[in-house]
Amino acid sequence: MESHYPFALPPLPYPYDTLEPEIDAKALCFHHDKHFAAYVDNLNKLLKPYPAYHGWSLEQLCQNWVDLPDEIRLGVRNNAGGVFNHDLYFRMLRALPPSSPQPPLDGAIRRTFGSVDDLKTALKNAALSVFGSGWACLCTDRHGNLSIQKVANQDTVLPLIPLLCCDVWEHAYYLQYQNRRADYFDAWWRLIDWPQVSERYAGLLQSRPPIP
């Protein structure tokens, strides 16, 4: 993902039919090529007339939108968040077979939630209890402490660091699962690329060593 304006749609890191049958090619194509693309396009359109903000990173835009001019503030909040959340969403999925968390993430999950199954239950409860559109995320702080967070619309969990985020906007599942958000969650859970999520966690710990 580009650090600054103009942002570009990251290509889907796998073929459209890779995630079938959990997420079918049509649903995946619409989600990535239409919805994700629209957030990228809208963000660029909003920022184009404001060169003063072309040097801002995506994370800066997500966290500091309150400092932007009135006329683009809400638009940037929604669209920068949409870009940030979707970028991670697609990158942390992969084709079956299912994988499992690796050290040191697996230990952190056991200490925080009890087990991977307990994490799944907690994250699923969060995903099902988002009212309307939003996200349920497994996050870490800069010390490596895990938590589950819910955000509405396209807000982000920043300054917490998301490791994994489940998109519970209807556009993520309605084409294939209609109103069955729980079934979509279970399917999404089977697609998590745990080696990559684990690597992300380990990398964050290395760059932000825990403070004693």
Q: Which is nearer to Fe ion, 120 or 171 (CB)?
A: 171
Q: How far is 94 from 193, CA to CA, in rounded Å?
A: 5
First to last CA, the chain: 33
Least distance to Fe ion from the beta carbon of 177, Å? 14
Q: Which is nearer to Fe ion, 163 or 165 (CB)?
A: 165
**Contact string 149-188 vs Fe ion (x = CB under 5 A):** ------------------x-x--x----------------
Least distance to Fe ion from the beta carbon of 44, Å? 18
Least distance to Fe ion from the beta carbon of 35, Å? 5
H or E element in which residue 163 lies: strand 161-167
Q: Which is nearer to Fe ion, 33 or 118 (CB)?
A: 33
Least distance to Fe ion from the beta carbon of 78, Å? 12
Q: How far is 79 from 62, CA to CA, in rounded Å?
A: 9
Contact 162, 197 (CB under 8 A): no
The residue length of the chain stands at 212
Contacts of 14 (CB under 8 A, 6+ apart): 93, 94, 95
Site residues for Fe ion, 20-49, by CB under 5 A, read none
Q: Rounded to the nearest 5 degrees, what angle is found at the Cα of 134, between the Cα atoms of 11 and 164?
A: 55
> By Cβ distance, which residue is nearest to Fe ion?
167
Q: How many of the chain's residues bind Fe ion (CB under 5 A)?
A: 3
Contact 94, 196 (CB under 8 A): yes
User: Whose structure tokens read 């909040």?
Assistant: 77
Q: Which is nearer to Fe ion, 110 or 171 (CB)?
A: 171
Least distance to Fe ion from the beta carbon of 34, Å? 10
Which residues make up the interface to Fe ion (CB under 5 A)? 167, 169, 172
